[in-house]
Structure 1
Amino acid sequence: MTEPRAITLTTSDHGDVSLPEPWWCSGHSHHDPLSLRADLIHAGPTRDLVHRGQTLLSVEIVQSPYADSSDPHLGGRTPGVSVHPLGETLNPIELYTLAADLDRYADVLRDLADRLDTIRDGGQ
């Protein structure tokens, strides 16, 4: 078993803050030392869902260990998945719901492709 990693980040309101770093965190290369402690965030690797060079969704596991927001969709102390451009952090149930919605949307696109194929072949 590996020892838990720790990271020390400078904040504008609490100075240097040491905190455990989860195994899934990609690091803090974009950390701004003028950040507030409540805005410190652990983030995993970003996964972009791309079609024809355009990013449709970007997702990453995130956690804000000192968050003071009571709205879990803005991120919080419990890890979640940040979804952009949705602009929300989702828990596992909400993420499964989003996946199910995307499945239904894929069905709509397949139905439209079938109709378009029929139209282009001269059918009705």
Structure 2
Amino acid sequence: MSSEPRTVTLPTSDRGDVTIPEPDWCTGVHEGIHYYSDLGHDGPDVSLDFRGHRVMDACLTQSPFALRATRVPQISITVAGRALDAAGVYEFAAALDRYADQLRDLASQLDAITSGGSQ
């Protein structure tokens, strides 16, 4: 096993192919051609499914060359809405309780990454 950091070479429209470090938590999925400042890393999604529908996703994310946003790892949370009756809201709230535990685990992973632990 190599002790060298993992890297990935990606096409950019403003700098051609660039080789950048790839964090251990990144899925390695990088699609399309982007500007250098738009290159980023995403971890695997932690999803909340409710009644057979995807409601929410969260993942570790980083834009290490961003010009306007932070360059440090963060957690991206995407929410899609739906209308529910009272019973559905209670059911949804229970699903959110379970999902909150997953989000706390993701936050702990982010704490370890940003405090100098695992990449």
Q: CA shift at 1:41, angstroms?
A: 1.0
Point out the structure with max Rg over C-alpha.
1
Q: Any stretches of 5+ residues in structure 2 without a counterpart? A: 81-91, 95-119
Per the normalisation by structure 1, the TM-score is 0.59
Q: CA RMSD in A?
A: 2.3
Q: Any stretches of 5+ residues in structure 1 without a counterpart? A: 71-75, 87-104, 108-124
Query: Per the alignment, in what secondary structure is the counterpart of residue 37 of structure 2?
Result: helix
1:26 is matched with 27
How many residues align? The count is 83
List structure 1 segments (4+ residues) > 2 angstroms apart after TM superposition.
none
Per the normalisation by structure 2, the TM-score is 0.62
Query: Per the alignment, in what secondary structure is the counterpart of residue 48 of structure 2?
Result: strand
1:95 is matched with none
Q: In structure 1, give the amino acid aligned to 2:28.
A: G
Q: CA shift at 1:27, angstroms?
A: 0.4
Identical aligned residues as a percent: 41
2:75 is matched with 81
Separation in 2, partners of 1:44, 1:2: 21
Of structures 1 and 2, the one with the larger relative CO (CA 8 A, separation 6+) is 2
